[in-house]
Structure 1
Amino acid sequence: VYVASTRNPNQVYDLAPVSDLVDRSDVSPVGERYLAEFRPLIPIRSRFMPGCLYLHDLAMVGGRLYGNAVGENSVVRIQDDGRAERAWWPRCIETSDGPIFTRNHLQLNSIAAGADLKKSFFSASTDRLTNRRPSHRNFPVDRRGVVFSGASRDVIARGLTRPHSARLSAGTLWIDNSGYGEFGVVEAGKLEPLVKLPGWTRGLCFHRGVAFVGTSRVIPRFRQFAPGLDVDSSICGVHAIDVAKGTILGSLSWPVGNQIFAIDWLPSSLSRGFPFRSDRKTPEQERVLFYAFNRETRKGAA
């Protein structure tokens, strides 16, 4: 499991399930049964990268890890040794002096992963290079957002507002239209909304005909970026949506929550989540786990 941190410096964390403990004479087998059953995720590596990349979405494309380098208007291939190599960028950043990688102009922030980059799609807040950039309060956003084709590197859909979380599912291109709190399908060059949700839509995954869509509160100083939302009533939550019927099956909200950046699902056979709860302190189990965790399953273990 890979998780990106956009702060300076950027980091990509690798998480992996733990199945049992190393056989040690100085460790009591505290919680071994729990480890075998729940296979909790723990960090096994962190790769540091320049903060100017401003990494956002991560995606596996053709068996390799890619990320949106929002600060460079490009998509980068993330190497095992920590290097980030530019692999794709939209045609609109190309000038007579070469592509513009030196500042964030587009907010190129998500990857709808196909079999390769040419079969993938990418969302951005604009396709125009201007003196106003996505972090500026007077950056125009309403219906300026676009989706790029990986193959042509040109725009294939317009009329979005601060889009995020483009995803391919069953041959259909879906997206969160964040500035209006919408989730829908990209068809015939535009968004066809399926549902409108009470918050800044960001984070999207699919499982068995159900879309899981995240909503975030709108940060007050960025309310101008959400012209289609009731900013003061926006909530932080995850919503399960029947994509065939367009109905909300249920929602999980956090009354004191704030931001959701990404959503994905894991099979429970791989892992059932993180090892500990923030509201339940287990210092001895924590000490033992991080002292003697073992990623290899012993013979005969569950």
Structure 2
Amino acid sequence: MADGHAALSRSAAHETAKLSDETDARFQDDHQAWRDPAGVVAQWQDAGAVDSSLLDAEVTGPWWQILAEAGVTLLVSREYEHLLIALSMASGSPRISYLRLPHPSGIAFDAASVQVHVASTRNPNMLYTLRPADRLLPRRDLDPNSFAGRVLMPASARFLPGSTYLHDLAMIGSELHASAVGENAIVAFPAGGDSRRVWWPSCIEGTTGADFGLNHLQLNGIAAGRSLAESYFTASKDDLLGARPGEIEFAPEARGVVLSGATRLPMTRGLTRPHSPRFVGGALWVANSGLGSIVNCEQDGSSVLVARLPGWTRGLCSIGDIAIGGTSRIIPRFRAYAPGLDPDECVCGLHAVDVKTGRILASLIWPAGNQIFAIEAVPSSLIDRLPFDGLERQPDAERTLFYAWQTASRNHAGEN
């Protein structure tokens, strides 16, 4: 019996030691988890693992010179690659930097408060607010002089139901607005308050009220005026009949519209999956996505071709006499949505277009890229990069940056 007790004791000790080893190993795994700032920001542990080919770019024409002369940093959302990208010449040489976010779509720059809003359109939706940091906190455990630049850093995020289906973002007046595609409406985000519906087209109204319960229209774009009445909105159709946008059987050709904020009715018809309406040099330009073109929509309801670009046109902004238009590849299952394009000829990239002639002056192409949603130009004097270097990750510098960055708002509060 003594031998049996001893054997049991040895077995129990062995199991205890084994369990202790497994617990230690688990602790080490847990201890190392969530150490990459890229993962913490996106709440996605693999966010730091970016295929470098997605950032490799090919340039034609004076692309970087155009950005340098305009003094702007371009922010670009590449939604299906889950990348927010910044392109800048502020340092005197080309710089590509990035931040990974889940399916980023709309981008809006609030010049008054010097912050950037980005829509993240997964379930749930997220609305990120980012602010530039230009120095480090005065810490005794680091060198404050190790920091250089004006880096756009995540400041806050709020969650919304996935059915909101945020797309475009825009500042109208002093408030942030968004196209809530899932609700066929435009919503506003007042400071410190909940989002609220503030505009919708008359076509969703019936005897029982407005239908906010299904995405009937793909109400996706906002051309921001001084008020809602002076703004314009794009949608893939303007009725509640038949197949809905997003369904394979939906026939989009010539069904797209530009809606007037004042009348809540179509001003322009005959477009094919329009996106990214923007005021360019006083004119209303729209990316006529399914035909790979940019058009000027006149007040009389007509549309005039401005330029043809090599892909699904989406994403548009202007910098002086030049407009920057984005092109994307065609998602295979939605080839019917692009009747005016050859999918094999489409590229993912950005194109500088002469506002007066429509001529392409320069392009930046991502050969391994897929889809662009939004483009926003911000002054390089305020924002010159995102936290992660597009050529090579710099873990030590990243950890220091996220450990002690200081935003302008904190500086203004007296924390110098």
Worse overlay, 83-92 or 283-292: 283-292
Q: What is the match of residue 249 of structure 1? A: 361
The residue correspondences of 1:57-76 to structure 2 (distance < 5 A) are 57-76=168-187
Cα deviation, residue 91, structure 1: 0.5
Aligned mates of 1:171, 1:208 — CA distance in 2: 11
How many matched pairs?
294
Q: What is the match of residue 266 of structure 1? A: 378
Aligned mates of 1:25, 1:141 — CA distance in 2: 60
* Structure with greater helix share of residues: 2
Counterpart pick for 2:138 among 23, 26, 37:
23
Aligned mates of 2:241, 2:353 — CA distance in 1: 37
Moved beyond 6 Å, runs of 4+: none
Cα deviation, residue 82, structure 1: 6.3
Percent pairwise identity: 52
Q: What is the match of residue 193 of structure 1? A: 305
The letter for the 2-side match of 1:273 is R
Counterpart pick for 1:126 among 226, 237, 243:
237
Contact kept in structure 2, 1:159 and 1:190, CA below 8 Å: no
Counterpart pick for 1:12 among 127, 143, 149:
127
After superposition, what is the alpha-carbon deviation per residue over 1:22-56, rounded to whole angstroms, capped at 9, x for unaligned? Answer: 11112233622x1xxx2111101111111101000
Counterpart pick for 1:238 among 339, 350, 368:
350
Cα deviation, residue 80, structure 1: 3.6
After superposition, what is the alpha-carbon deviation per residue over 1:193-212, rounded to whole angstroms, capped at 9, x for unaligned? Answer: 11111100000000111110
Identify the structure with bigger relative contact order (alpha carbons < 8 Å, sequence gap 6+).
Answer: 2
2:333 aligned with 1:221 = yes
Contact kept in structure 2, 1:91 and 1:153, CA below 8 Å: yes
Q: What is the match of residue 212 of structure 1? A: 324
Q: What is the match of residue 180 of structure 1? A: 291
Cα deviation, residue 75, structure 1: 0.2
Contact kept in structure 2, 1:75 and 1:89, CA below 8 Å: yes
Q: What is the match of residue 161 of structure 1? A: 272
Q: What is the match of residue 219 of structure 2? A: 108
Aligned mates of 2:195, 2:165 — CA distance in 1: 12
Query: Residue 118 of structure 1 aligns to a residue in which SS?
Result: coil
* TM-score, normalisation: structure 1: 0.94
Query: Residue 388 of structure 2 aligns to a residue in which SS?
Result: coil
Aligned mates of 1:277, 1:42 — CA distance in 2: 13
Contact kept in structure 2, 1:18 and 1:293, CA below 8 Å: yes
The letter for the 2-side match of 1:46 is A
Contact kept in structure 2, 1:49 and 1:84, CA below 8 Å: no
Aligned mates of 1:269, 1:255 — CA distance in 2: 30
Where does the alignment leave 5 or more consecutive residues of structure 2 unmatched? 1-115
Where does the alignment leave 5 or more consecutive residues of structure 1 unmatched? none
Cα deviation, residue 127, structure 1: 0.3
After superposition, what is the alpha-carbon deviation per residue over 1:146-200, rounded to whole angstroms, capped at 9, x for unaligned? Answer: 0110000011100000000011233311100000000020023132111111100
Aligned mates of 1:52, 1:79 — CA distance in 2: 20
Query: Residue 166 of structure 1 aligns to a residue in which SS?
Result: strand
Query: Residue 187 of structure 2 aligns to a residue in which SS?
Result: strand
Contact kept in structure 2, 1:49 and 1:83, CA below 8 Å: no
Cα deviation, residue 232, structure 1: 1.7
CA RMSD, aligned part only?
Answer: 1.3
Aligned mates of 1:91, 1:171 — CA distance in 2: 26
The letter for the 2-side match of 1:225 is Y
Cα deviation, residue 276, structure 1: 2.4
Contact kept in structure 2, 1:47 and 1:82, CA below 8 Å: no
2:165 aligned with 1:50 = no
Contact kept in structure 1, 2:173 and 2:226, CA below 8 Å: yes
2:109 aligned with 1:2 = no
Q: What is the match of residue 96 of structure 1? A: 207
Aligned mates of 2:247, 2:367 — CA distance in 1: 29
Larger Rg over CA atoms: 2
The letter for the 1-side match of 2:122 is R
Contact kept in structure 1, 2:132 and 2:152, CA below 8 Å: yes
Cα deviation, residue 280, structure 1: 1.4
Contact kept in structure 2, 1:181 and 1:198, CA below 8 Å: yes
Cα deviation, residue 81, structure 1: 4.0
The letter for the 2-side match of 1:193 is L
